[in-house]
Amino acid sequence: MSMNADAKQQYQASLNRVLDAIKLKEPDRVPLIPVVEAFPYYYAGLTIQEGMYDYHKAGAALDKFYADFHPDLGWDPVLMYPGKIMELLDMKWFQWPGRGIEDPNSMYQYIEKEYMTEDEYDELLLDPTHFIQSKWIPRSFGALDGLKYLALRDSIWFGFFNTFPVFGRKEVQDSLQTLLKFAEEMNKWYTFLGEYDKKMENEFGVPLAYGAWGYAPFDWLGDTMRGTVPILRDIRERPDKLLAAIERFTPIAVEASINGAKASGRPFVWVWLHKGVDQLMSKEQFGKFYWPSLRQYIQELVDAGLTPFIYVEGSYHKRLEFLREVPKGKVVYDFEDIDMFEAKKVLGDVACIAGNVPNALLSYGTPAEVEEYCKKLIDVCAPGGGFMMDTAAMVDDAKPENMQAMFKVTREYGVYRR
C-alpha cells in the first residue's frame, strides 16, 4: 500500500479540525463529517444488493466517493452489511435486497416486532444474559433456534450433568455449526474492513469516523426487544419494571461500547438515539425514563477516555436543557430535526453540535438551496468553534451536485482562518 505524504498531512489536518471542534475551539475551518450510508454506492453506480453481497465491490465503490469527496471523518464499507453472512443466521428483524426486498437498489430496512413480551420483564431482570441467549437470540435468528435449549447457569456442582448433555441435541449442534461458520466469514469481513481503514488513512487521508457503536439504554430495550408502541405503553402500565430493566441494561451498554472502542483502538463512539423524540414522550417522561441512563452512559464513556457522538435521530426541540448535563468539550450532538440557533445558544458552551442539513433537501432541492441552508448554519453555529457540518440523517439518494454544494460551501464559507 502506498504511503502518500499529502494523504498523511490531510489526515492529520482533518483529525485536528475535528478534535478542535469537539474541544469547543475554532479549527481552521468547519469540519465536514457527513454520515453517508447508501450515497457512495449510488454515486458509483453500484446497487445495494451488489454492495451487500460482494464487499470488495463495495470497497471499490467507496474508493470513487473518497477520490471525489474529502470529508474530515469518513466511513469504511461497514454500513454495507454483509448480506451472505447475515443470511446464514436467518435474521428476523432485518430485510435487505437479496433477502426480503425485491428492488436491488433499495436500502436495507429494520422490521420492528415484540421480541420480548410484556410479561417477560421478571425473567429479563433475573438474568439478562440467560434471557438474551435463550429467548432473544433464538427469536431474532432462525438459524440459532437451538440455543434456546442451553441453560448453562444451572451447571454449578453436578448441575452440568443436566446442562451439558443438551449439546448432543441436533438443534443445538446445528446452531453451533452456524455460529462457527458465521464467525469464520465475519472475521474475513473484518480483515477486509481493517485493510480498507488503512487505505482510507494512507491513500485518501480520511480519518475513520467510528471506533465503536452504542445505544441509549432505553433504546436497547425499546428497539429490538419491546418495540415502540409496547415500550411506550410500559411507561404507563409497568413503569417500575421498565425502570428496573433500564437500570440493569445501563452498565451492560457501557461495557459493550467500551469493549468495542478498546478492540478498535479508536475513541469515537457513535450512539444512535431513537425513542426519546419529542413526539413519543413528554419532557417529564424523557427526564425520568430516557435521559438519566443515557446521561450516565455518556458520563462513563467520557470517564473511560472516549468521545460519544450522540446521533440524535428525529425531533429534539424540547430536550435541549437535558442535553447540557454532560462534561464540557467531550461530547458531540449530531442533530436531525432541531432549531440549530437554539441548540447553539443552549449547548454552545458545553458540547459540539452538528447535523441538520435536511435529507429531503439533498434529495429533491437544488445546489443553490443547499448552499443557502449551509451558509445559515455556518453563520449561526460556527462562531467560537464547536460545530461540524453534517446532514440531518444518514444520506442515501442525495443528488451528487447537492452533496458537492454542501462540501464546497463548507470549505469556502466555513473558514475561520487562512
Q: Is 366 in the site for other proteins (CB under 8 A)?
A: no
Residue closer to other proteins (CB basis): 130 or 288: 288
Nearest residue to 11 via CA among 174, 205, 197, 231: 205
Binding of other proteins by 193 (CB under 8 A): no
Q: Closest separation between CB of residue 348 and other proteins, Å?
A: 27
- Contacts with other proteins by CB under 8 A: the residue count is 36
Q: Which is nearer to other proteins, 258 or 340 (CB)?
A: 340
Report the alpha-carbon distance of residue 253 to residue 322 in Å, rounded: 20
**Beta strands, E only, 15-173:** 94-97, 100-101, 109-110
What is the C-alpha to C-alpha distance for residues 336 and 340, in angstroms, rounded to an integer? 10
Inter-axis angle of helices 228-237 and 239-264, nearest 10: 130
Contact letters for other proteins, residues 300-339 (x by CB under 8 A): --------------x-------------------------
- Of 276 and 308, the one with the shorter C-beta distance to other proteins is 276
Contact flag: residue 105 with other proteins (CB under 8 A): yes
Applying CB under 8 A, does 99 fall inside the site for other proteins?
Answer: no
Interacting positions 200-229 with other proteins (CB under 8 A):
228-229
Among residues 4, 106, 299, 404, which is the contact residue for other proteins, using CB under 8 A?
Answer: 106
| Nearest one of 41, 115, 55 to 85, comparing CA atoms | 55
Q: Which is nearer to other proteins, 2 or 279 (CB)?
A: 279
**Neighbour-count burial of 87, counting CB atoms closer than 10 A to its CB (0-12 exposed, 13-18 middle, 19+ buried):** middle
The residue assigned the cell 453436578 is 158
Q: By C-beta, is 13 or 101 nearer to other proteins?
A: 101
Among 24, 46, 85, 280, binds other proteins (CB under 8 A): 280
Q: Does 282 bind other proteins (CB under 8 A)?
A: yes
What burial letters (b/e) apply to 293-306, b meaning 16+ CB within 10 Å?
A: bbbbbbbbbbeeeb
Q: Which is nearer to other proteins, 109 or 162 (CB)?
A: 109
When asked if residue 285 is in the footprint of other proteins (CB under 8 A), the reply is yes
Q: Which three cell numbers stand for residue 220?
A: 436497547
Binding of other proteins at residue 184 (CB under 8 A)? Answer: no
Alpha carbon distance 298, 85 (integer Å): 32
Q: Minimum Å distance from CB 372 to other proteins?
A: 15
